[in-house]
Amino acid sequence: MTLLKKNITANFAGNIGQALMAVVFVPLYIKFMGVESYGLIGIFVTLLAMFSILDMGMSSTLNREMARLSVLPGREQEMRNLVRSLELPYWLLAILVGIAVMALSPLIAHHWIKAGQLPPKIIEGAVFIMGFSVALQMPASLYSGGLLGLQKQVLLNVIQVSVSTIRGIGAVLILWLISPTIQAFFLWQIIISCVNTGLLGFFLWHRLPRSENRATFQKQLLVGIWRFAAGMTGITILSTLLTQLDKIILSKMLPLEIFGYYTLAGVVAMSLYRLVSPVFSAIYPRFTQLVSLGDQDGLKQLYHKSSQFLSVLIFPVTLVVAMFSYDILLIWTQNPTTAEKSHLLVTVLICGTALHGLMHVPYALQLASGWTKLTFYTNLVAVLVLAPIIVYLTNRYGALGGASAWVVLNCGYVLIITHFMHKRLLRHEKWRWCWEDLTLPFAASLGVAGLGRKLIGSQQSQLMMVLYLLIVSISTLMITALATRTTRVWLFDKLLNVKSA
């Protein structure tokens, strides 16, 4: 098995494991704490995402530089010095962010969050504790970026799955046996965040190539990467705003209970990234190496293979979940009220997330080529128009209107960014990408999943519905795989031991 295939396999196993941990424990969190407290967890996740803006491109830059330097001889000392030069300012930044969250906790609790049953003092204490957890979790992204660049993705996924499992099981045990409160939940997050960041930092340093001298902070190394890091900072700021703007606005406009349902729908929709990120994490370092070596044929082949593979992963899951969202939520939560209030949100959000997921392969190619301007300026325009759209649609249609803005945004990405990207990178591959990599797998998935929705009876037991969903999902996946050249060739060559054109 090649290193790329090994990394993709490890990333899938890791992401599926983490997704299972999230899916299994969310209904228990709501059962023990209530939907309002779960809404606070949604706000915590939003805070983490917003403060990732202050990453300033350091994680992505470390990822790229580790991949680039690893194929160049005699760069062992430079690699270690670069990690040290990024590590020190990152930790300082994380500490300042934690202090800021704690200082702002009264303002957030009393003037931003629209509480129903939870007293403001409880919310204030929970937000205060969030500050500690945010400070401890932030550096984990830097260390993860370094391990990704070194292509130590098997190790990274072992750590992440293990920590996610302990995080979920420990939280449930604490809520069940000690205290069913949001404060207890966040205190546990502090402990597990410390363990996670410590493990990632330890293993990054022990997987770096050995050198004769100790790693030192060197300002000139930061100067050498500032241009790419500056571009990544702009992209990170704008991308974070775009992906979190709906949650920021809706957390202010909606009651905390309704925002809790929106958060639940977001968990389902964002789980799609568990299929996307393994591919991105594996191909981005490989794209970087191919660009460094000037291998255009290799770039073209990997671009189409990874795009088609990603479509086969995204479209079947998206369309099945979108068409059967109520049934899936009812089976998962065992709560008809929750399913009724969340299922349309799931349908809309997962469609937007699917469109965003399709852009990860073109985005990886742009970053590997050191080209950040296109995404930056596109995101800048999108930020300026998205906020008023969210406010207008939310005022008019409530949470569902706010969710629909996510679909509008990502339709623009697919139509605009790829058009301009292919004018500069892989210039003759745009229409092949549109037809072979996207349209064919989408049409296959839509046909099978749509037929499955049409044929289902009006009344089904939960057991029969689970079996029916399993059949529809497998059928949709298989037909989509056969409709796409890359996966069709793999199926015939590996499974049936015959050749297919």
DSSP 212: S
DSSP code string of 435-466 = IIIIIHHHHHHHHHHHHHHHH--S---HHHHH
Structure tokens at 66: 């580790």
Dihedral of CA 394/398/403/408: which sign? Answer: negative
Residue 245: inside a domain, yes or no? Answer: no
Whether residues 291 and 368 share a domain: the answer is yes
Whether residues 217 and 319 share a domain: the answer is no
| Domain end call among 171, 206, 226 | 226
Residue 248: inside a domain, yes or no? Answer: no
pTM for the model: 0.67
Residue 249: inside a domain, yes or no? Answer: no
Q: For the ranges 184-198, 269-283, 385-399, 430-444, which has the lowest average pLDDT?
A: 269-283
Nearest to 491 by CA among 12, 300, 477: 477
Whether residues 185 and 305 share a domain: the answer is no
Task: Convert the pLDDT of each residue in 50-102 to its tens digit.
Answer: 666 666 667 777 887 787 777 677 778 888 888 888 888 888 888 988 888 88
Q: Mention every residue, 6+ apart, whose C-beta is less than 8 A from residue 173.
A: none
Cα gap 174→185, rounded to integer Å? 7
Structure tokens at 389: 């759209």
Residue 134: inside a domain, yes or no? Answer: yes
Residue 252: inside a domain, yes or no? Answer: no
Angle at 282 between CA 372 and CA 218, to 5 degrees: 60
Q: Determine the pLDDT at residue 501.
A: 44
Whether residues 23 and 156 share a domain: the answer is yes
Residue 236: inside a domain, yes or no? Answer: no
| Domain end call among 211, 226, 241 | 226
- The pLDDT of residue 23 is above 80: no
Whether residues 276 and 222 share a domain: the answer is no
Whether residues 413 and 337 share a domain: the answer is yes
Whether residues 220 and 282 share a domain: the answer is no
Residue 255: inside a domain, yes or no? Answer: no
Query: How many independent structural domains does the chain possess?
Result: 2
Whether residues 161 and 97 share a domain: the answer is yes
Q: Determine the pLDDT at residue 319.
A: 96
Residue 194: inside a domain, yes or no? Answer: yes
Contact 356, 410 (CB under 8 A): yes
Helix (H, G, I), strand (E, B) or coil at 335: coil
Whether residues 13 and 120 share a domain: the answer is yes
Cα-flanking dihedrals φ and ψ of residue 60, to 5°?
-65, -35
Whether residues 278 and 218 share a domain: the answer is no
Structure tokens at 352: 């937007």
DSSP 433: I
Neighbours of 112 (CB within 10 A): 14
Q: Determine the pLDDT at residue 273.
A: 86
| Domain end call among 167, 191, 226 | 226
Whether residues 309 and 180 share a domain: the answer is no
Q: Determine the pLDDT at residue 440.
A: 94
Whether residues 366 and 480 share a domain: the answer is yes
Q: Which domain holds residue 134?
A: 1-226
